[in-house]
């Protein structure tokens, strides 16, 4: 949940750019430190920043991912008709946040079940969230299970673990401007 940027550049320039960023740290007085994917995941997960292949992707609409606010329906855009139709017909899945209420680590691909044990969704991201000191996850579930406070089961290694739907983001950073 810390301040950060994403850089897009040709792959052939990656090594030189990496070296220049690391070298610029001492020159600017900014601490530049390489981190791994687990740290990146934690930093993006707690404030609920979506990652392609998890919370967003080719088979996930902005409405399902709670990103409808990013669509300007008063202008034309590719896919507008499909989204308007989806709005009219209703969603079949919705992105939620959840916290485990018992020990376990939710992972992408684990099934989500209702209180009766009926599988009806899937975890798309999950980890231990150090800032809130809880095991949390994002999942897609039918809209009727998306309300905060709704009890769920996350099937972890074929064993149901109790969870509850919570409001996202898990942590709201104080951004610098």
Query: In Å, what is the CA distance from 125 to each residue of 20, 25, 77, 120, 139?
Result: 32, 32, 29, 16, 7
Q: Report which of residues 146 and 41 the model is more confident about.
A: 146
Adjacent-strand bridge partners of 44 = none
pTM assigned to the model: 0.85
Q: Strands (DSSP E) along the chain, which ranges?
A: 94-100, 111-113, 119-129, 134-141, 151-156, 159-166
The predicted structure's pLDDT at residue 172: 86
Q: Encoding tokens for residue 8?
A: 């897009």
The predicted structure's pLDDT at residue 152: 98
Domain boundaries, the chain: 37-170
Q: Tell me how far the alpha carbon of residue 90 is from its chain's centroid.
A: 22
Structural contact between residues 104 and 161, judged by C-beta atoms closer than 8 angstroms: yes
Selected from 2.40.30.110, 3.40.50.300, 3.40.50.2300, 1.20.1070.10, the CATH number assigned to the domain covering 37-170 reads 2.40.30.110
Task: Give 61-94 pLDDT, tens digit per residue.
Answer: 999 999 999 999 999 999 999 999 999 999 999 9
Q: Is 111 exposed, middle or buried (0-12, 13-18, 19+ CB in 10 A)?
A: middle
Q: Report which of residues 4 and 135 the model is more confident about.
A: 135
* pLDDT, average across residues 35-54: 88
């Amino acid at each position: 949940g810390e301040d950060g940027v994403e850089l897009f550049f040709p792959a052939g320039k990656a090594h030189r750019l990496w070296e220049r960023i690391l070298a610029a740290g001492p020159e600017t007085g900014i601490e530049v430190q390489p981190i791994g994917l687990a740290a990146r995941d934690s930093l993006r997960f707690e404030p609920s920043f979506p990652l392609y292949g998890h919370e967003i992707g080719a088979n996930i609409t902005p409405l399902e991912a709670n990103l409808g606010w990013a669509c300007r329906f008063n202008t034309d855009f590719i896919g507008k008709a499909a989204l308007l139709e989806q709005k009219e017909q209703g969603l079949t899945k919705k992105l939620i946040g959840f916290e485990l209420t018992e020990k376990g680590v939710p992972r992408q691909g684990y099934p989500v079940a209702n209180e009766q044990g009926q599988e009806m969704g899937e975890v798309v991201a999950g980890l231990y969230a150090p800032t809130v000191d809880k095991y949390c996850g994002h999942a897609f579930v039918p809209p009727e299970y998306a309300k905060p406070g709704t009890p769920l089961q996350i099937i972890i290694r074929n064993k149901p673990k109790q969870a509850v739907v919570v409001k996202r983001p898990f942590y709201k950073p104080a951004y610098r401007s």
